[in-house]
Structures are given as structure tokens and as C-alpha cells.
């Protein structure tokens, strides 16, 4: 009867050890068996044991967990990367699947596990979900309809107090980019460390609700129902390869040998972790979260630059236009004045000694002159020479003198 | 480059697009207008410079109108003068010109707008008064 049961086989690698477990899935939950441990030098034996379990339980899923630090929850699927859908418009992505040649049919992200664990508690208020998996913090800010931000932080080599400090800093970092504090904080711890739990409770707020469970149990839970397996990296990867029947047939065990990636890439030696702790620290304080803010600030540079240039040229244009207008007006005024001077000179030259001015109105459109004349014809000739359409008239005065008047348009 | 742009956050993309819109809709037209204005300014300056040279006046010596110094200057060049304000930067200018010094008045008239930022806005009225001619005109500050 045993081989008719649906079994979930779970494994993951932590430092130089592979941890293997399997559980019988029942209607009332799963029944885990004893955990097995293999040193990485016993990799072949480890793989052989998985195959043995698969042979023993034809209806089985082999489930593993990505402990990659370079994974992130995004809102659009990225077809160039390994990705899995957590829920509507929320996908977890990492550069590549790196299981090596170890049989695996379902491959989950800690973010998917976290969401599954707390999805029923999410509402419209912002909740900070923190998962501690293999001494790495997987953090995401979520509401019931969206995962707003996520990042990962390494904590290897840190004291419990420092881990608590990292969690606190992550809250501060998120506040810097969103100006929001989480209304509620949930934390899922997979390492069995009573001391860590105690410190987290002491160092952080009592509002942080802590829960402890093993990675194996979480993976068994994920593999327990087909619905839950939708939150899987491997699913989207297989779909790309044309295989969409993961859940239909337990024989579809996916052997990652086809992928060139080697399990060695996942080796969590001290240097690797130290590097990641360091880069995660950057990620927390100056990287992913602050990076987004930094990118936005960088984007302001071209905006400020074009605004500055626009303001500069507008100001210069206003100054130039004022100066041009002034020069133009001065130039026109000077030309008019020169014409007036020319007309005045003409009128006075024409009168010469033949007449004496009494009154004159001179503009650039007309002249009107009145005076006493002694030589009528010479004056008439002189004026008509300058203004041939002018109206020249004379009038005898009582004192035997003659008054002349001359009008003309120019 | 396009791949790099795609990876930018939405806010950055929006800011980038706004920057481009401002650049093409405002900055570049302003720059073009500026360079055209510089050219127009140079042309105006050249035209004015020719007038300054013609009357032997150093360019850049044009003064803003000031009643007292203007009256003193007219006295030195032509004869007695009085200036009555009409409001809105306009003034009535009355001069007493000797009959035989009408050429001095003409020279004054030709160079008036080169030496002061003023323009004549009315016809010039000449009236005989004994041995001199009274000249009346309206001037306005430019």
C-alpha cells in the first residue's frame, strides 16, 4: 500500500551538507520521516537515495529550496531569468536555477514560502514579513494585493543581537524609500535557535510575531497541494521548456543535469557567505532599497540640467530682447531726429535772406512755415525746389510788408 | 542603452521622459531663439555704431535722461532751455536759439538720441522772439 501514497521528498544544502527528508501526505497533513544528512563528498550517495525514494514512492515530488541571496520579488515577469509566480503580478526572480544534477521537481523561493505562510493574515495594512532561512534574512513588505519591496540579507557570522539589528535596519531602510512603517511584523525562523528567538523578542518589539518551523516542514507543506506549487521557480522554467505536466505525473521528476550549472555554485563556504554578507549589507544600507532611491535621484540630474538650461536661456533671451528693443528704438529715434534736422536746415536755407521766420511747425510728415518775405520769387523757387507740391501763398500787410505762408506734406 | 532604460524604476522613467519633453519643447527652442537674438543684437549694435562714428560720439556714452544735466548740456550746446514734465516719462522741451545759430540746433537735434535715451514725439514748433527763436517739442524717455 505504501507505494500508492503521495510523498514529498525535500532536500536542501546548507554549508557542506545536504539534508534530505520525505513525508507521507495525508488528508490531515503530512507525516514526516527521519531527516537524513549527507556530506557533500557523498553527493552520489545522496542522489542515489533520492532515486531510491522516488522508486519506492512513484507518486512523489522532489522539492528543494533556493537559498540564493540574489533573488527578488518583482511585479513583472522577466523571461530572461528563472522566475516563479507568487501570486497575481508578483514574481520572484533569480538569475538562474542552480540545483546542479540533483533530482528536483519543484523548486521554491523562501519568498514563496513566506507568502504561503502568512497570506491569510495579510490585509490592506502594510506587513513586514521576515524569513530566516539558513542564516539569511528574506524580507518583504506586503499587503494583501501586492508585495511592495523585498530584499535579502546575509547574517552568517553575526551574533543574534546583530541579526536583530539587521532586521531593525531593514525596517528603517524601507522607511527611507517609502516613508511608511509596517503596521505589523511577522517573522518566520527556520533555524532551531532558542537563543536567537529570545534575542529577537528582546531586541525588537513585542509586536513582532515569531514563528518557528523547519525548512523541510515548510517544503512538505508547499508540496502538499497542487495549488500551492504554483509558487515555484521550477514551474516557470519547465513551462519554458515545453513541459507543463509537473503536477499531473509524479514521474516527471526533473533532473537538472540538462542545465550546465553545477551544485558547486551553491557551495556556502565562508568566503562565499562573507562576500554575500558584505554585499547584502551594502544592499541593505546602500544597495537595493536605497539603490532605487538613488536611481530616482540620478534621474533628477538630467531633469535639473534641462530645467537649468531652459531657465538660463529664457533669462538671457529676456535680457537680449530688452537690449535689442532699446537699440532698435534708439536707432529709429536717431533716424527721425536726423530727418527733422535735415528738414529744418532745408527750410532755413530756403528762406535765407529773402524772408524772416515768424512761426514754423516741422515734423517728418509735414511743414508749415509763416513769415515776412522780401524776395517773393526767390523764396517761392527755393521752397518749390525742395517741396514741389507745396502750397505757397503771400498776403500784403498794412505796413507795406508782405507775409508768406508755405504748407507741404513730406 | 534601451535595455538599461527598461531596467530603470518607473519614477526614473517618468522623470526621464519629462526631461526629454522639456528639452525638446522648451530648452532647444530657447537656445535657437537665443542665438538668433544674439545675431539681431549684433546687427542693431553695428547700425548704431555707424551713427556714433558719423557724429564722432564714443559709443556707449548714451545717458539716461536726467533733467538737470540735460538742461546744462543743452545750455552749453544751443542756448537756454527749460524742461516741463508731462507725465509718463514725457517732457516739454523749450529752447532759445539765436537766429544765426540755427545750425547748432540742427547738430543738437541730429545727435540728441545718441547722447540721451530720448525720442521726439511731437512736431517741432519754431516761433520768432526778438533776436532769437523759441523752439518747442515733446520728448519721451526710451
Residue A134 has pLDDT above 80, yes or no: yes
Residue A44 has pLDDT above 80, yes or no: yes
Residue A246 has pLDDT above 50, yes or no: no
Average pLDDT score over chain A: 78
Please indicate whether, in this complex, the C-beta atoms of A299 and B51 are within 8 angstroms of each other.
no
The C-alpha atoms of residue B17 and residue A347 are separated, in whole angstroms, by 69
Confidence of residue A105 (pLDDT cuts 50, 70, 90): confident
The C-alpha atoms of residue B142 and residue B118 are separated, in whole angstroms, by 5
Q: Which of A72, A317, A318, A319 to mutate to test the interface with B (most CBs of B within 10 A)?
A: A317
Retrieve residue A364's grid coordinates.
Answer: 517728418
Average pLDDT in the A138-146 region?
86
Task: Write the burial class of residue A205 (CB in 10 Å: 0-12 exposed, 13-18 middle, 19+ buried).
Answer: exposed
**Contact list, B118 vs chain A (CB under 8 Å):** 333
Q: pLDDT at position A276, please?
A: 39
Please indicate whether, in this complex, the C-beta atoms of B113 and A337 are within 8 angstroms of each other.
yes
Of the candidates A98, A108, A131, the residue with the CA atom closest to the CA atom of residue A222? A108
The percentage of chain A sitting over the pLDDT mark of 90, rounded to a whole number, equals 24
Confidence of residue A129 (pLDDT cuts 50, 70, 90): confident
Please indicate whether, in this complex, the C-beta atoms of B12 and A328 are within 8 angstroms of each other.
no
Which candidate from B16, B124, B133 shows the least CB-CB separation from A340?
B124
Residue A243 has pLDDT above 90, yes or no: no
Of the candidates A366, A370, A363, the residue with the CA atom closest to the CA atom of residue A393? A370
Average pLDDT in the A52-74 region?
88
What is the sign of the dihedral through the CA atoms of A194, A199, A202 and A207? negative
Q: Chain A closest CA to B42's CA: distance in Å?
A: 9
Q: pLDDT at position B123, please?
A: 95
Average pLDDT in the A79-100 region?
81
Residue A252 has pLDDT above 60, yes or no: no
What is the sign of the dihedral through the CA atoms of A153, A154, A158 and A159? positive
The percentage of chain B sitting over the pLDDT mark of 70, rounded to a whole number, equals 95
Segment A284-324, tens digit of pLDDT:
333 445 556 777 778 788 899 999 999 999 999 999 999 99
Residue A59 has pLDDT above 50, yes or no: yes
Helix axis angle, A215-224 to A110-118, nearest 10°: 70
Q: pLDDT at position A11, please?
A: 93
Segment B11-60, tens digit of pLDDT:
888 888 999 999 999 999 999 999 999 999 998 888 888 888 888 888 77
Residues 6+ apart with CB under 8 A from B136: B92, B93, B94, B95, B124, B125, B127
- In A59-119, which ranges are E strands? 60-65, 71-74, 82-87, 90-94, 106-108
Q: pLDDT at position A181, please?
A: 67
- Return the residue matching grid coordinates 541579526: A163
**Contact list, B18 vs chain A (CB under 8 Å):** 303
Q: pLDDT at position A207, please?
A: 65
Please indicate whether, in this complex, the C-beta atoms of B33 and A313 are within 8 angstroms of each other.
yes
Q: How far is CA A153 from the centre of its chain?
A: 21
**Contact list, A302 vs chain B (CB under 8 Å):** 15-16, 19
Q: pLDDT at position B77, please?
A: 86
DSSP code string of B35-102: HHHHHHHHHHHHHHHHHHHHTT--TT-PBPP-HHHHHHHHHHHTS-EEEEEEETTEEEEEEEEEGGGH
The HSE-up count of residue A2 (CA atoms within 13 Å, CB side) is 7
* pTM for this model (two decimals): 0.47
Segment A328-345, tens digit of pLDDT:
999 999 999 999 999 999
- Return the residue matching grid coordinates 527749460: B82
Segment A179-211, tens digit of pLDDT:
666 777 788 888 767 777 777 777 766 567 778
Amino acid at each position: 500500500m505504501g507505494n500508492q501514497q503521495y510523498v514529498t521528498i525535500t532536500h536542501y544544502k546548507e554549508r557542506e551538507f545536504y539534508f534530505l527528508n520525505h513525508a507521507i501526505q495525508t488528508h490531515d497533513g503530512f507525516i514526516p520521516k527521519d531527516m537524513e544528512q549527507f556530506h557533500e563528498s557523498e553527493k552520489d550517495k545522496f542522489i542515489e537515495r533520492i532515486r531510491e525514494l522516488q522508486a519506492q514512492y512513484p507518486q512523489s515530488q522532489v522539492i528543494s529550496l533556493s537559498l540564493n541571496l540574489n533573488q527578488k520579488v518583482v511585479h513583472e515577469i522577466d523571461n530572461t531569468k528563472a522566475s516563479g509566480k507568487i501570486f497575481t503580478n508578483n514574481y520572484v526572480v533569480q538569475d538562474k536555477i542552480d540545483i546542479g544534477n540533483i533530482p528536483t521537481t519543484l523548486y521554491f523561493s523562501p519568498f514563496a514560502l513566506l507568502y504561503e505562510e502568512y497570506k491569510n493574515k495579510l490585509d490592506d495594512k502594510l506587513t513586514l514579513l521576515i524569513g530566516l532561512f539558513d542564516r539569511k534574512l528574506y524580507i518583504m513588505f506586503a499587503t494583501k494585493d501586492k508585495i511592495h519591496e523585498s530584499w535579502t540579507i546575509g547574517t552568517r557570522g553575526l551574533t543574534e543581537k546583530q541579526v536583530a539589528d539587521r532586521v531593525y535596519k531593514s525596517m528603517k531602510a524601507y522607511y527611507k524609500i517609502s516613508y511608511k512603517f509596517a503596521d505589523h511584523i511577522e517573522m518566520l525562523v527556520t533555524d532551531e535557535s532558542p537563543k536567537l528567538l529570545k534575542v529577537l523578542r528582546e531586541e525588537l518589539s513585542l509586536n513582532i510575531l515569531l514563528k518557528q518551523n523547519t525548512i523541510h516542514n515548510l517544503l512538505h507543506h508547499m508540496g502538499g497541494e497542487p495549488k500551492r506549487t504554483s509558487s515555484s521557480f521550477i514551474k516557470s522554467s519547465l513551462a519554458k521548456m515545453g513541459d507543463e505536466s509537473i503536477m499531473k505525473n509524479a514521474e516527471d521528476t526533473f533532473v537538472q543535469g540538462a542545465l550546465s550549472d553545477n551544485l558547486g555554485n551553491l557551495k556556502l563556504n565562508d568566503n562565499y557567505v562573507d562576500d554575500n554578507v558584505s554585499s547584502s549589507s551594502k544592499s541593505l544600507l546602500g544597495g537595493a532599497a536605497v539603490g532605487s532611491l538613488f536611481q530616482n535621484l540620478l534621474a533628477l540630474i538630467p531633469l535639473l540640467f534641462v530645467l537649468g538650461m531652459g531657465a538660463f536661456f529664457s533669462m538671457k533671451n529676456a535680457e537680449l530682447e530688452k537690449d535689442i528693443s532699446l537699440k532698435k528704438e534708439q536707432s529709429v529715434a536717431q533716424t527721425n531726429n536726423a530727418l527733422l534736422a535735415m528738414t529744418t536746415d532745408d527750410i532755413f536755407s530756403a528762406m535765407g535772406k529773402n524772408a524772416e521766420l515768424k512761426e514754423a511747425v516741422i515734423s517728418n510728415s509735414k511743414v508749415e512755415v509763416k513769415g515776412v518775405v522780401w524776395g517773393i520769387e526767390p523764396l517761392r523757387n527755393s521752397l518749390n525746389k525742395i517741396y514741389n507740391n507745396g502750397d505757397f501763398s503771400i498776403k500784403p500787410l498794412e505796413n507795406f510788408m508782405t507775409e508768406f505762408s508755405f504748407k507741404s506734406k513730406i | 542603452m534601451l535595455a538599461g532604460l527598461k531596467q530603470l524604476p518607473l519614477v526614473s522613467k517618468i522623470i526621464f521622459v519629462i526631461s526629454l519633453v522639456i528639452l525638446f519643447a522648451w530648452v532647444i527652442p530657447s537656445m535657437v531663439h537665443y542665438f538668433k537674438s544674439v545675431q539681431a543684437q549684433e546687427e542693431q549694435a553695428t547700425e548704431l555704431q555707424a551713427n556714433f562714428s558719423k557724429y564722432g560720439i564714443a559709443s556707449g556714452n548714451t545717458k539716461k535722461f536726467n533733467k538737470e544735466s540735460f538742461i546744462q548740456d543743452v545750455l552749453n550746446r544751443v542756448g537756454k532751455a527749460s524742461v516741463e514734465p508731462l507725465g509718463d516719462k514725457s517732457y516739454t522741451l523749450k529752447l532759445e536759439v539765436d537766429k544765426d545759430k540755427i545750425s547748432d540746433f540742427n547738430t543738437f537735434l541730429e545727435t540728441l538720441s545718441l547722447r540721451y535715451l530720448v525720442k521726439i514725439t511731437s512736431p517741432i514748433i519754431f516761433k520768432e522772439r526778438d533776436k532769437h527763436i523759441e523752439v518747442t517739442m515733446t520728448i519721451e524717455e526710451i
